[in-house]
Amino acid sequence: MTKEKIKLLCLSFWTPPLVRPQSILIGKMIPEWINQGIDPFVMTYDVCGDWNIDITILKIPQFEASKFFKITPLISVLNLFKKQRYYRKLYKIAKGLIKKYDIKIIFSFANPQESNILGAMLAKKLGVKFISHFSDPWYDNSYKTFSKFGGKKVLALEKFIIKNSDRVIFINKTAQELVMKKYPADWFKKSLTIPHCYDLKDYPDTINDKPLSDKFVLSYIGAFYKERNPEPLFKALKIIIDTDKNFSNCFNI
């Protein structure tokens, strides 16, 4: 007797072939889910392009706020209503997919947080099991600043997501404790960490324990911005190289 596959809706708005950190991770996760007997369906932004994979992919537009030289209270209110309409549109699309294929689980992958918000809406209204993934903190993100109103709004949305999640995933204990300390102990119990990892099969075996090269390769997969940049790494390397000039020949950067 063939075991019925678990049907899962993955809300990952960045996917291959677009090159982004989340796309790379999802590009590895989805094939592994298939190997484990999961039947995944994906919702993603239409700007990601065509992913060469044999699964159902629904493409959605990104939200576009009204753009003016000066943001006034009226424009802010109009953008709020526009975003609510955007969520209703995404909800209708996802609901149709869930009903059509009898999907049992929703997995949302943020950022952007729209995926987690949509997942929480679907879980609350349809009763589908929901797993939210926070690749970064949201309200507690030290790299973000919010206005007084904006902070209250973000905190309310984060609470909405976590309240309606059956599981909340973080990539390390620090992020888990930072975010979940604001919420009831029962909510903390449904959170867990799944650290980033790698598959040994993706890397060649060494031959007779001899390195394939006498150089190290420094690689970074992620986004750089003003507050998080490679300057500390380069400063550390400079200190080491100033101490030992031969050290600079050991790396391909």
| Residue 157 burial (C-beta neighbours within 10 Å; 0-12, 13-18, 19+) | middle
CA distances from 25 to 15, 29, 36, 131, 152 (A): 9, 6, 17, 17, 31
pLDDT tens digits for range 57-108: 999 999 987 666 456 666 677 878 889 999 999 999 999 999 999 999 999 9
Instruction: Report d(CA 230, CA 226) in Å as an integer.
Output: 10
Per-residue pLDDT, 71? 60
Structure tokens at 71: 């943001």
- Look up the pTM and report it: 0.82
Per-residue pLDDT, 157? 96
- pLDDT tens for the chain, 253 residues: list them: 457 889 999 999 999 999 888 998 899 999 999 999 999 999 999 999 999 999 999 999 999 876 664 566 666 778 788 899 999 999 999 999 999 999 999 999 998 999 999 999 999 999 999 999 998 899 999 888 888 888 999 999 999 999 999 999 999 999 999 999 999 999 999 999 998 777 777 777 766 666 666 777 777 777 777 777 888 888 888 888 888 877 777 766 5
